[in-house]
Amino acid sequence: MRIVKKRRKVSIIGAGNVGATTAQKIVENGLADVVLLDIRDGVAQGKSLDILEAGPLMGFDTRIVGTGHYEEIADSSVVVVTAGFSRKPGMSRDDLLHKNGEIIRDVAHNIRKFAPDSIIIPVTNPMDLMAYVLWRVTGFPRERVIGMGGALDSSRFAYFLSEETRTSVSNIHSLVMGGHGDQMVPLLDFSTIAGVPVRKIIPSDRLEAIVTRTRNGGAEIVHLMKDSSAYFAPAAAIYSMIESILHDRHRIIPSSVLLEGEYGIRGAFVGVPVRLGNQGLEEIIQLPLSAEESSQLAHSAAVIAEGISALNRLFNNFSE
């Protein structure tokens, strides 16, 4: 007997650099059908057609629809939110709070209305705070709002470690926790090369330089590109999360989720290692952090909590 399984649907809000690159990866790898939505007339439609016209060359049969209408996102398994402004050289991610906050509140209302059963992956910056807006407005359970930040930061950290040691990236496991901002916490005790802790292999001054470069990884690209932030590695990070969810792989991927007492933090979205499967967030992995790492994480969470206070001042009422 043939098992016929309908392809899953992923919607991406924002057809800019991150959104369109993510769409292309999903469709080319046959992971899901995609709806690409943008406020700019014709952009999502044009990019979708362009991606489809590569089908005969790349050999994929997955579909992508470009649209400006939220009705199209109905029945999505996953909705990725990349709509909004990116920072320019000299700006911090938090400088985008007001402009992107308004956009994301509107996007959240539409997700609640048209894709109420979806799992949301917030990407727009400042990501941990935009995740909070999406969670507050949609009223989704925390299992279904999972922000992308730690996957990207950990990948950057791993790449820099591989470059330093001239070792294949496949031998490197790295972990970055905390907010997706200047206070992120790269964890040396949980980062290894072929199972050996990095502190045993790389001298401390070099490790310190790598940690600093990881913290500034986003800014380094913004400085180089001037009018855009990163999008190839971000799209790969989003893809890895969606793949673990749709294929129910239970991969442990650092992501920004609402903490309810884990790591001593409550009421904020903060990056922690989580297990991702069909239902979204399956488990928050609690690691035995050192006193110094715990205090760095607490500091990062305190900065996010300040951002939440600013959001509460901005939106008296999240549901307007």
Ligand X SMILES: NC(=O)c1ccc[n+]([C@@H]2O[C@H](COP(=O)([O-])OP(=O)(O)OC[C@H]3O[C@@H](n4cnc5c(N)ncnc54)[C@H](O)[C@@H]3O)[C@@H](O)[C@H]2O)c1
- In the list 66, 84, 179, 307, the residue contacting ligand X (rule: CB under 6 A) is 84
69 binds, among ligand LMR, ligand X, none (CB under 5 to 8 A by kind): none
Say whether 115 counts as a known binding-site residue.
Answer: no
DSSP characters over 258-315 = EEESGGG-EEEEEEEEEEEETTEEEEE------HHHHHHHHHHHHHHHHHHHHHHHH-
Is residue 229 within the footprint of ligand LMR (CB under 6 A)? yes
Write down the catalytic residue from 69, 98, 180, 299. Answer: 180
Give dist(CA 246, CA 45) in Å, integer. 25
Amino acid 211 reads V
270 binds, among ligand LMR, ligand X, none (CB under 5 to 8 A by kind): none
Contact 115, 282 (CB under 8 A): no
15 is in an annotated binding site: yes
Locus of tokens 């709002």: 145
Look up residue 10 and give its two tokens.
């992923």
Closest C-alpha to 77, from 242, 250, 234? 242
Among 125, 155, 191, 296, binds ligand LMR (CB under 6 A): 125
Exposed, middle or buried: residue 74 (CB in 10 Å: 0-12, 13-18, 19+)?
Answer: middle
Phi then psi for 79, rounded to 5 degrees?
-120, 120
Active site residue 69: no
**99 close to 44: Cβ distance less than 8 angstroms:** no
Helices (H) and strands (E) in the chain, counts: 10, 13
Binding pattern for the stretch 66-95 against ligand LMR, x by CB under 6 A and - elsewhere:
--------------------xx-----x--
- Asked whether position 237 contacts ligand LMR by CB under 6 A, the answer is no
Do residues 12 and 34 lie in contact, with contact meaning Cβ atoms separated by under 8 Å? yes
List 181, 234, 254, 271, residue binding ligand X (CB under 6 A): 234
222 sits near ligand LMR (criterion: CB under 6 A): yes
Binding segment for ligand LMR among 137-145, 212-220, 281-289, 310-318 (CB under 6 A)? 212-220
- Answer for which of 221, 298, 308, 310 binds ligand LMR (CB under 6 A) is 221
What would the two tokens of residue 137 be?
A: 């407005």
123 is in an annotated binding site: yes
How many binding residues for ligand LMR (CB under 6 A)?
Answer: 14
128 marked as binding residue: no
- Give the x-and-dash track for 5-24 against ligand X (CB under 6 A): --------xxxxxxx-----
Contact between 289 and 296 under an 8 Å Cβ cutoff? The reply is: no
214 forms part of the interface with ligand X (CB under 6 A):
no
Binding site for NAD(+), residues? 14-19, 38, 100, 123-125
Which residues would be at the binding site for ligand X (CB under 6 A)? 13-19, 38-40, 43, 82-87, 96, 100, 103, 106-107, 123-125, 127, 148-149, 152, 180, 228-231, 234
Catalytic sites, residue numbers:
180
